Amino acid sequence: MKVGVIAYQGSFEEHALQLKRAFDALSIQGEIVAVKRPSELSQVDGIIIPGGESTTIGIVAQKLGVLDVLKEKISQGLPVMGTCAGSIMLAKEVTDAKVGKKSQPLLGVMDATVVRNYYGRQRESFEAVLDFSVIGGGKAKVVFIRAPAITKVWGRTKELLSFGESKVMVQEDNMLATTFHPELSGTTAVHEYFLSMIKK
Ligand code: GLN
């Protein structure tokens, strides 16, 4: 199984490490591909869009022609996991908590509204304990870094986990989005769950 991670900017390395742990936990012979160009997308069975800065990731992905190819592949069923900035890339509706709607290149494939920088200044970054039993894991500490919030889902998008008033992990068929950073957590539950989506 080959899993791609978009590797322009942000937590590529951490996702690669967490993926390795998840491969080991599930005894999968896996390979990780750093994806920067459209040709690298043709080899992967699933793709991760990491956290970072969604404006930067979107602009570079568009420039290199990855955005359109990725959008097409996701609509054809390629499993995708977007974490933090990656969840922003996936959502059909994106606003910023401070500046409201701003245009930025996005995939816009998931029936969800995501509000960027939702938690404001005091809580720009914080840790929380989430219970991952819904995807077969246990309780684990995760980190939110200038995190967005998923405030609304519709259509086939289902909430898997919430924190406070907002949703922090949602799924629409082959698409999984988290507003926290599962790659910076002690649990591999989210990555293992994503690998199970690829195996189906
Ligand atoms: N605030 C970033 C954005 O809007 C996301 C932060 C992150 O990915 N850690 O793109």
Q: Which amino acid is at 83?
A: T
- The mean per-residue pLDDT over the stretch 88-115 comes to 94
- Whether the per-residue pLDDT at 102 is higher than 90: the answer is no
Residue whose C-alpha is closest to residue 177's, from 113, 105, 104, 98: 113
* Residue 84 among the catalytic residues: yes
Question: Which strand (E) or helix (H) includes residue 169?
Answer: strand 166-172
pLDDT in tens, 131-168: 999 999 999 999 999 999 999 999 999 999 999 999 99
Q: What angle do CA 185, 191, 196 make, to 5 degrees?
A: 155
Residue 121 labeled ligand binder? no
Domains and CATH numbers, the chain: 2-199 (3.40.50.880)
Atom of ligand 1 nearest to the CA of 147: 6
Distance, CA of 111 to CA of 172 (rounded, Å): 8
Report how far ligand 1's centroid is from the alpha carbon of 172 (Å).
21
**Residues contacting 68, CB < 8 A, separation 6+:** 62
Per-residue pLDDT, 162: 98
DSSP class of residue 192 equals H
Q: Are 149 and 115 in contact (CB under 8 A)?
A: yes
Per-residue pLDDT, 121: 74
pLDDT in tens, 14-71: 999 999 999 999 999 999 999 999 999 998 999 999 999 999 999 999 999 999 999 9
Atom of ligand 1 nearest to the CA of 85: 8
Q: Which amino acid is at 32?
A: I
